[in-house]
Amino acid sequence: MDSLTSSLRPAAALGRQLLLLGGLMSDWCRTRPNEYGQQQCRGCDEVCSLLRWGEVQRRKDSQFRGCSQSRFFHSNFRELDMCATLSGCDTCRIFRRAFLLAQTTGLGAQSLEDPDQQWPVYAALDVSDGGDLLLLSIEAPHETVFRAAVRLGSEQCHTPRDPTRAGGRLRADFEELGKVVRDCHENHDCSWKYRWSDQNPTWLLEILHQNQVRLVKGPKNPVDYVVLSYSWGDPTTMTAAEWARIKGAATKTTNGTPVDQRLHPFSTWSLPETMQDAITITESLGFRYIWIDSVCIPKGTNWDTEASRMHEVYGNAAFTLAASSCTKATDNLLHDRSAWRHRNKACKLRGKWLYNDSPSLNAVRLGSPVSQRGWTLQEERLSPRILYWAGQRWYWSCPERQVAELSELSYSNTKDSPTGWSLPQNFLEVCRTGDEQQLNDEWLDVVEAYTRRDLARAKDRFLAISGLAVRFYNAKVESNEQLGTEEYLAGLWKDELARHLAWSVHHAADPDNHLQQFAPSWSWASLPLKVHTNTKHKFKQSEHFRLIGTPGVAPLPDKRKDRGQVIEERGRTVKVLEVEGRLRRFISEDSRKACWDDIERQHGGRTTFNFSIYPGCPVYARNIEDGRLVSMEAHRGEIVGQLDYLPTNGSKEKRGVGVCLPVGAEKDVYCLELGDSAMLLLRRAPGTSDAYQRVGVCLGYTNRKGFFYGCETRKILLC
Given a contact cutoff of 8 angstroms between Cβ atoms, the answer to whether 660 and 647 are in contact is yes
Q: Give the confidence band of 173 by pLDDT, cuts at 50, 70, 90.
A: confident
Q: How many residues does the chain have?
A: 719
Which is more confidently placed, 85 or 579? 579
Query: Is a pLDDT exceeding 50 seen at residue 276?
Result: yes
More confident call, 306 vs 275: 275
Q: Which residue type does 182 have?
A: R
Cα dihedral 5, 6, 10, 12 in deg (nearest 10): -10
Distance, in Å, from the CA atom of 148 to the CA atom of 358, rounded to the nearest integer, reads 11
Question: Which is more confidently placed, 670 or 687?
Answer: 670
Residue 4 pLDDT more than 70?
A: no
Q: What is the mean pLDDT of residues 245-249?
A: 94
CA-nearest of 77, 75, 57 to 67 is 57
Least confident of 1-5, 60-64, 103-107: 1-5
Distances in Å between the Cα of 692 and the Cα atoms of 187, 549, 620, 662, 681 are 56, 15, 22, 16, 9
For residue 359, what is the DSSP state? P
CA distance 94 to 564: 52
Per-residue pLDDT at 131: 84
User: Under a CB-based contact definition with an 8 Å cutoff, are residues 172 and 332 in contact?
Assistant: no
Per-residue model confidence (pLDDT) at position 183 = 94
Q: What is the band of 412 on the pLDDT scale with cuts at 50, 70, 90?
A: very low
Longest distance between any two alpha carbons in the chain, whole Å: 95
User: Is the pLDDT reported for residue 336 higher than 70?
Assistant: yes
Cα 106 from Cα 111, distance rounded (Å): 9
- State yes or no: pLDDT of 7 exceeds 50: no
Average pLDDT, the chain: 88
Dist CA 180 CA 44 (whole Å): 38
> Using a CB cutoff of 8 Å and minimum separation of 24, what contacts does 185-194 make?
185/224, 185/318, 188/398, 188/399, 188/400, 188/401, 189/400, 190/384, 190/385, 190/398, 190/399, 190/400, 190/425, 193/384, 193/399, 193/432, 194/315, 194/384, 194/399, 194/425, 194/428, 194/432
Neighbour count for residue 95 (Cβ, 10 Å):
30
For the stretch 450-487, pLDDT in tens is 999 999 889 999 999 999 999 999 888 864 455 678 89
Q: Are 510 and 646 in contact (CB under 8 A)?
A: yes
